[in-house]
Amino acid sequence: MTKADVIKQLAEELDLTQEETDQLYDSFVEGMITLLSNNRGFTLPGLGSFHAEVRTEHKSYNPHYQQMMKIPPKKVVHFKQSSVLRDELNEGEDEQ
């Protein structure tokens, strides 16, 4: 599903124009990025929780150059699904 598909579906469900929905979507994504870049996690009930953490510097083997390389520290985002989402996704799998 593309961003355009999401915008179209949300616009229909919320009875808004696609332009208004696009602005809401962009604001929502900006807010998520701001929270994560400030090391603040957040939870979307029914979906899950997001948090950012810094991966420390470490060494890794590069097979192309056949040598160890330093991998610099970087921020990564972690997502943990909610039990509601997990149960919904796994519903009916016991029957198969």
Return the SS3 of 17.
coil
Q: Residue 96 falls within a domain, yes or no?
A: no
| R_g of the chain, CA atoms, integer Å | 19
Domain count, the chain: 1
Q: Residue 39 falls within a domain, yes or no?
A: yes
Query: Would you state the structure tokens that stand for residue 89, as one six-digit string?
Result: 């996704």
pTM given for the model:
0.75
What is the spatial distance between Cα 44 and Cα 87, in angstroms, rounded to a whole number? 16
Q: Residue 25 falls within a domain, yes or no?
A: yes
Q: Residue 95 falls within a domain, yes or no?
A: no
Written as tens digits, the pLDDT of the chain (96 aa) is 999 999 999 999 999 999 999 999 999 999 999 999 998 999 999 999 999 999 999 999 999 999 999 999 999 999 999 999 999 999 867 655
Among 50, 48, 53, smallest CA distance to 76 is for: 53
